[in-house]
Chains A and B, each alone.
Chain A
Amino acid sequence: MIDQIIDIIGVLNIRVAIGLANVLGLITISAMVLTWAERKVAGHMQRRIAAKEVGPFGLIQPVADVIKLLGKEMLTPADVEKPLYYLGPILIFVPVLVSFVVIPFDARLQVMDVNVGILVILAFSSLSVLSILIAGWGSNNKYSLIGSIRSVAQNIAYEIPLLLSLLAVVFMSNSLSMKEIVEAQNDVWYVFKQPIAFLIFFIACVAETNRTPFDLPEGESELVAGYHTEYSGMRFALFFLAEYTSMLIVSAVATTLFLGGYKGPVLPGVVWFLGKTYFLVFLMLWFRWTFPRVRFDQLLNFSWKILMPLSFLNLIATGALLKL
C-alpha cells in the first residue's frame, strides 16, 4: 500500500515535500530567533538590556509578537490596487522558500542537489525585487512607491557585483552545484583564496537584503517604512519574515561558497554550517548598529564605480591565474 503510494507520487516529490515542510519550520523558528537576537544585539551595543520581560532573557518575546500579529485585523486600505496588494506578501515568500532547497546543511542533509544550485538561488532571489515593486505600486502610497523604486534601483545595482564575485568561485570550483563547491573547499576555504570576492559578495548581500547601511528602501525617517507601509497584521509579518529569512539565506550562501559550508573538525557538519551562518548574521546585525545609512548617490556610486570594476578585475585575475 505504502509502496504503491510512493510509486504514484514519486520518491523525489516526497523528499521535496518533506524538505519544504522542514524548511518552513526552520524559517519560522530562525526568524523568531533573529528578531530576538536583533533586539538583544541592539540593546547590548547601546549598553542596555533589551527584551527581558517575557520568559527567561526575553526568549518568549517573539512568540508574544507572533500572537499579537496573528490577532491583528488585516486592514486593506480603500484605494489600493487589490490584486497587486494581495499578491505582494505572497510573492515575497516564494524565493525565500525555494532558496533553501539547494543549500547543503550537511554532507547528506540537503533537500535536492541541483546541478545549477547557485543559479536557482540567484534566479529566485531576484524575484523578491519584483514582489517589493508590486507591493509598493499596489499600495497606492507615495512613500511605498518611492521605497520600492529605490529598492529596485539598489537591487539591480548590487546584483551585478554579487554575480561577478560569485563567478570567481564558480571558476575555481568548476561547478554550479552547491555541494560540489563545498567539496572543492576541502583543503582551503575560498575566503582565503578569494578574499576580495568574499568582501564584495558580502557587501552586495547586505545591500540585497536591504539592511543597514543600505536600508534606503525602508528608511524610517524618510519613508515611514518603505514598501510595507500600508501592510498590517499577518501580511506585514510575511514581509518581516522574508526580510529576516533573506538575511539567513545570503549568510548560508556565503557560508557555502566561501566559508567551507559544513566542513569543520570534530563537530557534526550541521553545527559547523549553522555556526558559520549565524556568525555572518551576527556580522549583519553588528553592521546595523554601527553604521549610519548611506546617501542614495553614495549607494549607487559605490556599486557602479567601485564594486563593479573591482569584481571585474578580480574575475579577470582569477581566470588568468587559473589558465596559467
Chain B
Amino acid sequence: MKLIIDIITGAYSLLAGMWVTIKAFFSPVVTVQYPRKVIDITPRFRGHIKLVSDQEDPSRMKCFVCGSCERACPSNSIKKVEGEKREGEKKKTVTSYILDFTTCSQCGLCVESCPVGAIDFSADYNPVGFRREDFCWDLVREFEKRRAAA
C-alpha cells in the first residue's frame, strides 16, 4: 500500500515539476542582450567619482580646490588636486584632479567630505583598459570630454 501511495505522490510531484518548466517555456524571456541593449543604471549606483558642473554655469565645475577629498581618501586614490585663481572669479578653478581607480574602493568618503557637493558617483559601470595607467584618470579632462560629447 505504501508503495502505491509513493508511486502516486511521486508521479504527482513529477507532473508538478513539468508544469513549472512548461510555464517558464511559454513565459517571456527575462535576459537582456547586453551589448545591444542596456538596462537603465539605478541612480544610487556607485561608479567611479566624477566632477559635477556648476548649476549657474554648466561649463564650469563646482569644485574650488579645497583638497578635503584628497585628505579624506583612505587609500590615497585622489592625487594632484590643483587649481588656479582666474581673473574676475571669486573662487579657484580646478585644473588637475587625478583619480587612481585601481586603488579606489568606492567608499564615498570623498563625496561625503566635499563641502559643496562637487563630486558625485558616475553611472560608468564598464571602464576597460589594458594597462594600470588606463585607470588613472584626470577628472578635469573627463569632465571636458563629457561636456564635448553632450
Contact = CB atoms under 8 A, between A and B. Distances in A.
Contact of A290 (B17, B27, B28, B29): B17
A203 to B, nearest CB: 11
Nearest to B14: A291
A244 B138 CA distance: 58
Contacts of B25: 41, 44-45, 286
Given A291-B14, A306-B7, A47 B21 contact: no
Contacts of A306: 3, 7
A46 B22 CA distance: 10
B30 A290 contact: no
A46 B3 CA distance: 33
Contacts of B20: 290
A46 B20 CA distance: 11
Given A44-B25, A286-B18, A49 B7 contact: no
Contact of A45 (B21, B31, B33): B21
A120 B114 CA distance: 84
B80 to A, nearest CB: 45
Interface in A18-68: 41, 44-49, 52
A44 B20 CA distance: 12
A52 B30 CA distance: 15
Contacts of A52: 33
Contacts of A278: none
A236 interface: no
A124 interface: no
B148 interface: no
Interface residues of A toward B: which range?
A: 10 to 19
A289 interface: yes
Contact of B24 (A45, A49, A291): A45
Contacts of B7: 306
Contacts of B26: 44
A48 to B, nearest CB: 4
Interface in A286-324: 286-287, 289-291, 306
B21 A289 contact: yes
A306 B33 CA distance: 47
Contact of A286 (B3, B22, B29, B30): B22
Contact of A44 (B3, B14, B24): B24
A167 to B, nearest CB: 22
B31 A290 contact: no
Contacts of B30: 47-48
A249 B8 CA distance: 29
Contact of A47 (B14, B22, B24, B33): B24
A49 B33 contact: yes
A49 B25 CA distance: 10
B24 to A, nearest CB: 5
B18 A290 contact: yes
A291 B33 contact: no
A66 B124 CA distance: 40
A49 B31 contact: yes
A286 B21 contact: yes
Contacts of B31: 47-49
Given A48-B31, A49-B31, A290-B21, 18 more contacts: A44-B24, A44-B29, A45-B24, A46-B24, A47-B24, A47-B27, A47-B28, A47-B31, A48-B30, A49-B29, A49-B33, A286-B18, A287-B18, A289-B21, A290-B14, A290-B18, A291-B17, A306-B7
Interface of A: 41, 44-49, 52, 286-287, 289-291, 306
Leading 6 A-B pairs by shortest Cβ distance: A48-B31, A290-B21, A45-B21, A47-B30, A290-B17, A44-B25
